[in-house]
Amino acid sequence: MFRHEPKERPEILVVDDDPMVRDIVVESIRIAGYEVDVCGDGVEALKKNEEKNYDFIVTDMRLPGMDGLSLIKRLKASSSNTDVIVITGYGSIENAVACMRAGALEYLIKPFTVDQIQVAVRKAIEHRELRRKAMEREFYRELSYVDALTGIHNRRYLNEALSAEVQKALRLESSFILLMIDIDDFKLYNDRNGHQKGDQALAQIGKLLKSACRGYDIVARYGGEEFAIVFPGAGPENAPELAERILRGIADEKFNGEDLLPSGSLTVSIGVACFPEHACTGDELIRCADKALYEAKRTGKNKIKIAASHT
Highest averaged pLDDT of the listed ranges 93-102, 144-153, 174-183, 301-310: 174-183
Q: List the Cα angle 127/130/134 in 5-degree steps.
A: 135
Q: Are residues 195 and 134 in the same domain?
A: no
Of the candidates 288, 272, 270, 268, the one whose C-alpha atom is nearest the C-alpha of residue 280 is 288
What CATH code is carried by the domain that includes residue 246?
3.30.70.270
Structural domain includes residue 272: yes
- Amino acid residing at 98: A
Q: State whether 161 and 295 are in the same domain.
A: yes
Provide the 3-class DSSP secondary structure of residue 277.
coil
Residues 221 and 118 in one domain: no
For residue 83, the SS3 value is strand
CB atoms within 10 A of CB 52: 12
pTM: 0.63
**Domain of 43?**
12-141
196 and 301 inside one domain: yes
Task: Say if 221 falls within a structural domain.
Answer: yes
d(CA 100, CA 41): 20
Domain boundary (113, 141, 169) is at 141
Omega before residue 111 within 30° of 0, cis: yes
Q: Which of 27, 142, 165, 225 is catalytic?
A: 225
Show which of 109, 141, 173 is a domain's final residue: 141
Which residue among 141, 165, 200 closes a domain? 141
149 falls within a domain: no
Instruction: Give yes or no: residues 24 and 134 share one domain.
Output: yes
170 and 287: one domain? yes
Q: Is the pLDDT of residue 4 over 60?
A: no
**Which pLDDT score, from 0 to 100, does residue 91 have?**
62
Same domain, 166 and 197: yes
Lowest mean pLDDT among 52-61, 124-133, 219-228: 124-133
User: Does the annotation count 225 as an active-site position?
Assistant: yes
Q: Which of 1, 114, 7 lies closest to 56, judged by CA?
A: 7
Confidence class for position 113, pLDDT limits 50, 70, 90? confident
